[in-house]
Amino acid sequence: MVNGKAITLDDVTFFLNARQDANPMDPTSPELVLNELINRELLVAEARKAGIDKRPDIQRMIDVQRDSLLANELLAAKMEEVDTSDEALKAEYDAQVSELELTEYKARHILLKTEEEANAIIEELAKGADFATLAKEKSTGPSGPDGGDLGWFQSDSMVAEFADAVKALKKGEVSKAPVKTQFGWHVVTLEDTRDREAPPFDGVKEQLKGIVGNKAVEKYLSEIREGGDIQFMDNQTAPSADAPANADQPAPTQN
């Protein structure tokens, strides 16, 4: 008993299990937990004597923590209901794989400041000039000293204009017109392509469980938002529930 309030074995077990769930390597003993609970009860009693529990900011924090706990417990329960059978995970796997960029490209480029300079390079290449040599001599990009070599890459790692130009080329072909990007004007040649394998199903099952679970939670949230009475007051502007996420593609590092 602490100031007339009992601390039971169930209390100790509950807090001990919570500590070990959060950190399985935590060496906390029942005795240590009991002492912590005793200290907590003494501190809470002193806080109440000081009127801290009556402060509006403390009351608000208690309300927020209570509501967060309730919401998190509900979502955890919904996650438990999600179908994570191999059949369901395989369906999600197939959907994910269908959207993967499995082709890799090996290309070189020469980066110039103006379209005129780029067109002049294209003319030199048409006359038989060596691409790598011109890249070393003329390119303003960091890959210039390597003959413009970009190595192997996936198209989604490049800005859209450059990626589209690379994908439109055949092996050994040089771009017929300069390619404009935020970095300048590019002359591009495609050296090779190769296909990479999708990750094996068994190797990504745990990730798939998370994806399937998150989709189920998003669907549930969408349903309760649609059925809920949501009002934005005081003329405050709030984002639409249907507003898409920012889809702007970040620019890759200049090569």
**Residues paired with residue 194 on neighbouring β-strands, in sequence order:** 104
pLDDT of residue 250: 37
How many C-beta atoms surround the C-beta of residue 35 within 10 A? 11
CATH code assigned at 171? 3.10.50.40
This model's pTM is above 0.85: no
Cβ contact 157:228 at 8 Å: no
When divided into structural domains, the chain yields a total of 2
pLDDT of residue 15: 87
Q: Return phi, psi of residue 193, to 5°.
A: -135, 160
Cβ contact 58:52 at 8 Å: yes
Is 164 part of any domain?
A: yes
Domain boundary, last residue among 170, 195, 220 = 195
pLDDT of residue 246: 43
Q: Assign 189 to helix, strand or coil.
A: strand
Is 47 part of any domain?
A: yes
- Tokens coding 146: 């390597």
Residues 112 and 171 both lie in one domain = yes
Q: Return phi, psi of residue 141, to 5°.
A: -85, 160
Task: Give the whole-angstrom CA distance, residue 166 versus residue 173.
Answer: 10
pLDDT of residue 239: 53
- CA angle, corner 15, sides to 21 and 77, nearest 5? 55
pLDDT of residue 21: 81
Residues 108 and 187 both lie in one domain = yes
- CA angle, corner 186, sides to 125 and 170, nearest 5? 65
Is 233 part of any domain?
A: no
Any idea of the CA torsion for 150, 151, 153, 159, to the nearest 10 degrees?
0
- Tokens coding 185: 């004007």
Over the Cα atoms of the chain, what is R_g? 30
pLDDT of residue 237: 53
Is 13 part of any domain?
A: yes
| Listed residue (103, 105, 102, 101) closest to 192, CA to CA | 105
Is 159 part of any domain?
A: yes
Residues 23 and 107 both lie in one domain = no
Domain that residue 8 falls in: 1-58
Task: Give the whole-angstrom CA distance, residue 177 versus residue 69.
Answer: 59
What is the Cβ-side half-sphere exposure of residue 43, based on CA atoms within 13 angstroms? 6
pLDDT one digit per residue (tens) for the chain, 255 residues: 888 888 899 989 998 888 888 887 777 788 888 989 999 999 999 999 999 999 999 999 999 999 999 999 999 999 999 999 999 999 999 999 998 889 999 999 999 999 999 999 999 999 999 999 999 999 999 999 999 999 999 999 999 999 999 999 999 999 999 999 999 999 999 999 999 999 999 999 999 999 999 999 999 999 999 888 888 887 655 555 444 444 344 334 445
Is 201 part of any domain?
A: no
